[in-house]
Structure 1
C-alpha cells in the first residue's frame, strides 16, 4: 500500500510557478516540465491538476487578472469624492500598475494570447469589466470606459518609456477625461 503525500497547496504552488515561468520565459518558454521544477512537484502533478497547458495558462492568468482587478478595486474603494477618485487613479497608474517588470510581462503575454485566442480574450474582457465596475461606482459608465482605457494605456506607456510622463500629466489627462 502506497502512502499518498498530503499537499493541499500543490495546485496553488503550480499556478504561482507558472506565473513565474511566464514572467521569466514568456508563454512560449513555459512548459509543464519547467513549471513542475519551479513548483518542486512531480511532473505527474501537472496532469493531475490541469488538463493541459491551456488549462494551466487560464488558471494562472485568471489569478493574475484577479489580483490586478483587486488592486484597482481596493485603490478606488476609499475614494469619497471626485478629487479622491482622481488621486486614487493617479496612484493606480504610477504605483499599483508599476509594481514590477514581471507584472508588465504577464500583462503583455496575456494581451498577446487574447489577441489570438478567444478563451483568453474572455479573460481580458472579464478583467476590463471588473475595472469598469470599480470605476462606475464613482463615474458614469461612458466616462468610466474612457478612463479605464486611458489608465491601461498610460500604465503601458509609463512602463515602457525611457522618459515616462509625470503624475501631474496623468492627473491633468484624467481631469479632462472625467470632466466630459
Structure 2
C-alpha cells in the first residue's frame, strides 16, 4: 500500500497560508507581538501545524520575510524588465518609488519590521542582502552597477520617507532626480561605489 498519511498532504496550501498569516500578524502588531497562537488563529490551522512546518518562531519569521522579499522582488523585476528604452527604464524607477503597486503602506510596515529583525537574525539578514542584490540585478538590465546601486537606494529610501511624511511624493521631483543620477553617472564615476 503506497502513500502514507505523511506523504499525501491533506492541505497542500497550508504552509503558504501560515506564512501569509504571519505577515498579516506582523503588519498589524510588529514582530515583537507576533506569536504562534496569533499566526495559527489567523491562518485557521491547528497550533501544531506551525511546529510541523517550522523549527520555532525564528524560522517561521525568517521564511515569512523571505516570502515577502520574493514577492516584492518579482514585482520590482517585472516593472524594470518591461522597459524597452532608457526613458522607460527611468519611468519604471519612478513608478517603483511613486506608484501604488510597489511599497504599499502594508509592505512598508513589513519592510521596517524585516530590517529591524535582520539586525538580530542572521537568516533574515541574509534574506535582506539577497533582496538588495536581486533589486540591483533587476536595475542592471538597463543601468550600470553604480547607477543601479544609487537608484536602488532611492527606491528603498524614498518610500520610507513617504511613510512618515504628511504630503505625497512629488513625482516630477522624483523623475528629475532619477534622470540626474542616470545622466551624471559617467561624469561622477558612480560605478566605483
Give the structure 1 partner of residue 170 of structure 2: 166
* Structure 1 spans left out of the alignment, 5+ residues: none
- Aligned match for 1:10, one of 2, 11, 14: 14
Partner of 2:155, secondary structure, is helix
Partner of 2:89, secondary structure, is helix
Equivalenced residue count is: 177
Q: 2: CA distance between counterparts of 1:69 and 1:98? A: 11
Give the structure 1 partner of residue 114 of structure 2: 110
Q: 1: CA distance between counterparts of 2:155 and 2:40? A: 35
TM-score relative to the length of structure 2: 0.87
Contact 2:98 2:171 in 1 (8 A): yes
Q: 2: CA distance between counterparts of 1:162 and 1:76? A: 28
Give the structure 2 partner of residue 97 of structure 1: 102
Measure how far apart 1:76 and its partner are: 0.7
Q: 2: CA distance between counterparts of 1:160 and 1:169? A: 18
TM-score relative to the length of structure 1: 0.93
Measure how far apart 1:141 and its partner are: 0.6
Q: 2: CA distance between counterparts of 1:42 and 1:32? A: 10
Is structure 2 residue 129 aligned with structure 1 residue 119? no
- Aligned-residue Cα RMSD (Å) equals 1.5
- Aligned match for 2:71, one of 67, 72, 92: 67
Q: 5 Å matches for 1:10-159? A: 10-95=14-99, 96-99=101-104, 101-159=105-163
* Structure 2 spans left out of the alignment, 5+ residues: 186-193
